[in-house]
């Protein structure tokens, strides 16, 4: 059963990753439509996830702000996809690092909010996100400048940390609602919010950092 779920996860990723990259690089109305679609599904899943009316409203406003920062990063700031790709790489490698290191090394649990999260997984998230992003920086032309490698590493760790907090936040609400996934639109992954839980926190954080010229 577990192997079947992993296979579904891999097959979904094989389709999703190239599609997302294409839409991101293409930009214009294709990207904006894709972003609006993800936003609409996220709001729908959030309304299903939460029972409290005011929590639904606050969460919706947060999602509006989060997706608006993604929209602005792609369409207004240099009209380039480097900034979004930078955050995406960190968030995705954070998820993968946490999953792989947590499964292999196991060890003490991080929190009761998400029983599958471990300290080894947290270390793996920081380690893999830092390693993968630095490698991408070496071989891929990003339209982003950092003064030193230390500066780059600090930014990566901060974004990875916020992404993990986002993951735990959505996990908390799922636990409160006694559900495993926010939806079933993505085979092996669950809902849109399950897939972008860390990203919806990481993008606003990076947008604010970028505005402060950190």
- Residue whose pair of structure tokens reads 């929190």 in the numeric block: 111
Residue 6 is assigned to a structural domain of this protein: yes
- What is the per-residue pLDDT across 42-101, written as a single tens digit (0 to 9) for each? 999 999 999 899 999 999 999 999 999 999 999 887 667 888 999 999 999 998 888 888
Total residues belonging to the chain: 214
Residues 6+ apart with CB under 8 A from 146: 152, 155
- From first CA to last CA, the distance across the chain in angstroms is 46
- Residue whose pair of structure tokens reads 């849109």 in the numeric block: 192
- What is the per-residue pLDDT across 160-190, written as a single tens digit (0 to 9) for each? 999 999 999 998 998 888 888 888 887 767 7
pTM: 0.89
Residue 214 is assigned to a structural domain of this protein: no
Residue 46 is assigned to a structural domain of this protein: yes
- What is the per-residue pLDDT across 21-40, written as a single tens digit (0 to 9) for each? 889 888 888 999 999 999 99
- 8 A C-beta contact, residue 195 and residue 17: no
What DSSP character marks residue 213? T
3-state SS class at 109? strand
Domain carrying residue 10: 2-209
Residue 98 is assigned to a structural domain of this protein: yes
Separation between Cα atoms, residue 200 and residue 59, nearest integer Å = 11
CA dihedral 44, 175, 13, 92 (to 10 degrees): 100
Task: Tally the domains of the chain.
Answer: 1
The per-residue pLDDT for 8 is: 67
Separation between Cα atoms, residue 167 and residue 92, nearest integer Å = 12
Residue 78 is assigned to a structural domain of this protein: yes
Angle between helix 2-26 and 82-105 (nearest 10) = 170
Q: What is the largest CA-CA distance in the chain?
A: 48
């Amino acid at each position: 059963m577990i192997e079947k779920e992993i296979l579904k996860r891999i097959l979904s990723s094989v389709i999703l990753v190239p599609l997302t990259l294409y839409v991101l690089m293409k930009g214009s109305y294709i990207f904006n439509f894709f972003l609006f679609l993800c936003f609409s599904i996220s709001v729908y899943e959030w309304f299903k996830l939460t029972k409290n009316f005011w929590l639904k409203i606050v969460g919706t406003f947060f999602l509006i702000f989060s997706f608006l920062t993604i929209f602005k990063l792609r369409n207004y700031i240099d009209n380039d996809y480097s900034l979004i790709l930078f955050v995406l790489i960190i968030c995705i490698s954070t998820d993968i690092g946490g999953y792989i290191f947590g499964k292999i090394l196991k060890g003490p649990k991080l929190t009761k909010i998400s029983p599958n999260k471990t300290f080894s997984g947290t270390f793996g998230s920081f380690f893999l996100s830092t390693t993968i992003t630095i490698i991408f920086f070496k071989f891929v032309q990003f339209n982003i400048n950092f003064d030193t490698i230390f500066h780059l590493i600090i930014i990566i760790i901060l974004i990875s940390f916020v992404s993990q907090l986002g993951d735990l936040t959505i996990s908390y609400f799922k636990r409160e609602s006694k559900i495993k996934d926010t939806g079933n639109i993505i085979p092996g992954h669950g809902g849109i919010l399950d897939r972008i839980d860390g990203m919806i926190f990481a993008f606003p954080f990076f947008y604010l950092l970028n505005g402060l010229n950190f």
